[in-house]
Structure 1
Amino acid sequence: MERKRIDGGETRRPTGAAVIRPELTIALFRAFFEEWAETGYAAVSLERVAARAGAGKAAIYRRWPSKLEFACEAIRSVEVMRLGCTDQGSLQADINEYLRATRAVLRHPLVRRIIPDLVAERLRSHELAALLQGIAEARRQFGHRLLDRAIARNELRADLDRELALDLLFAPLYARMIVRGKYFTNADLDRLGIALHAAVMAC
């Protein structure tokens, strides 16, 4: 019988046709994020994750053949960096909504610890590069739609530097909240929104 490779080089045989319970899968995702936030990705123990979720290791082995696949599906399950981007009627209003949605994501205590570790892990190895790139691209798609709407309203030039504009929208929040560990008040966001509107117009 074929053996499946598991974290740390260990191998396990498939355990048969046990029923995959959605509620346990959700508990395993939550336990994985908690473990990741405490230890960093490299030190995540699937055995400890299972224990946190009140399950046995077989519950993980039945679902994912490796820690990397577990991590990828966990991220996809919560779409941790995907943001709503509804049309607010103007570029300024869209920027303000984008900033508030981004702040809400970055305020989450697990996100604040996992995202920097993702970036650091990418520098140490290529294992998580595709995962981090996927998160970044998913977020930027919302930014592209924001820019598309502004172009359609004739608020922005069609030939603006999109990459620069998208970097500007996210970088100030990330720098203050994740890198510096500071907070943005509503008044701070309002001032930032005005500054970013002018900056994006100049791109």
Structure 2
Amino acid sequence: MPSSPAPASGPTPAPGPTSAHPRRLPGGPVLQDSVTEAIALAFFEELASAGYARLSLEAVAKRAGAGKAAIYRRWTSKLDMTVDLVSAVAVTTSGTIDTGTLRGDVLAFLTEVADALQQPLPARIIPDLIAEGHRNPELAEALFTAVRDTRRAKATLLLERAVLRGELPTNTDRELALDFLAGPLYWRLAVVHTPTGRDYLDRLTDKLLAAFAA
């Protein structure tokens, strides 16, 4: 989301399974990873193609080459599936890498966000989910709790490390700093769709550090 949008330095992995191990339903069979992976990939492709409002579990199952029952063994509804898969990817790729400096941490954070927003699937999915959230309060609340709040909590660690190092004052406005950290890059890449130049993230990092210190 914007504080992401939905979104470690380096390329953001493509959406994938929510677990590295097979899942077992209570009193039921093991859910095979290969099927879960196929469904997850099909879900993200269908979500990017159709959007949340027109997304159907039947279409996801058909794209995955699986039965609709396979989906219901894993998720109870379209909302449940969306929140589970989107939050798993968004939170997993929300890095808290400690580079040793505030500048290095901010640059790593911005690099992660830029990588995510410039990939084909996230570039189409994130704006759609945000727009849909305005029409669907239940979806918005679920994603805010699972994605936005978790990512902002992780990003706060970046600021707290800087305070402990003495790079930021203890009275730094964390809420405003988090908005600065996420807002400009999201606006550029997801809203006005303007590519970044080679040194753009470095220049943006310097501007953010100046704002934090003001």
Gaps of 5+ in 2: 1-26
2:12 aligns with none
Worse-matched range after superposition: 88-97 or 38-47:
88-97
Would the aligned equivalents of 1:37 and 1:113 in 2 still touch at CA under 8 Å? Answer: yes
* Residue 189 in structure 1 maps to residue 189 in structure 2: no
Identity across matched positions, percent:
47
State TM-score, norm by structure 2.
Answer: 0.82
Q: Is structure 2 residue 133 aligned with structure 1 residue 122? A: yes
The Cα of 1:78 is off from its aligned counterpart by 2.0
Distance 2:72 2:112 in 1: 35
Q: Distance in 2 between matches of 1:175 and 1:111?
A: 15
Bigger Rg, structure 1 or 2:
1
Q: Paired residue for 1:102?
A: 113
2:71 alignment partner in structure 1: 60
2:153 to 141, 145, 159: 141
Closer/same/farther in 2, CA of residues 136 and 186 from structure 1, 3 Å limit: farther
What amino acid is the match of 2:55?
V
Which stretches of structure 1, 4 residues or longer, exceed 4 Å deviation after superposition?
16-19
Q: In angstroms, what is the RMSD of aligned CA positions?
A: 1.7
- Matched residue pairs, number? 187
* Residue of structure 1 equivalent to 2:8: none
Q: What is the alpha-carbon distance in structure 2 between the residues aligned to residue 80 and residue 37 of structure 1? A: 19
Deviations 1:83-126 (A, max 9, x none): 21222122112111111111111112111111111111111121
- Counterpart residue identity of residue 34, structure 1: E
Post-superposition offset of 1:186:
3.2
Contact 2:83 2:143 survives alignment (8 Å):
no
For residue 12 of structure 1, what is the aligned residue in structure 2? none
Q: Judge which range, 102-111 or 72-81, deviates more.
A: 72-81
Select the structure with the greater relative contact order (CA < 8 A; seq sep ≥ 6): 2
Contact 1:80 1:105 in 2 (8 A): no
1:179 corresponds, among 182, 186, 191, to 191
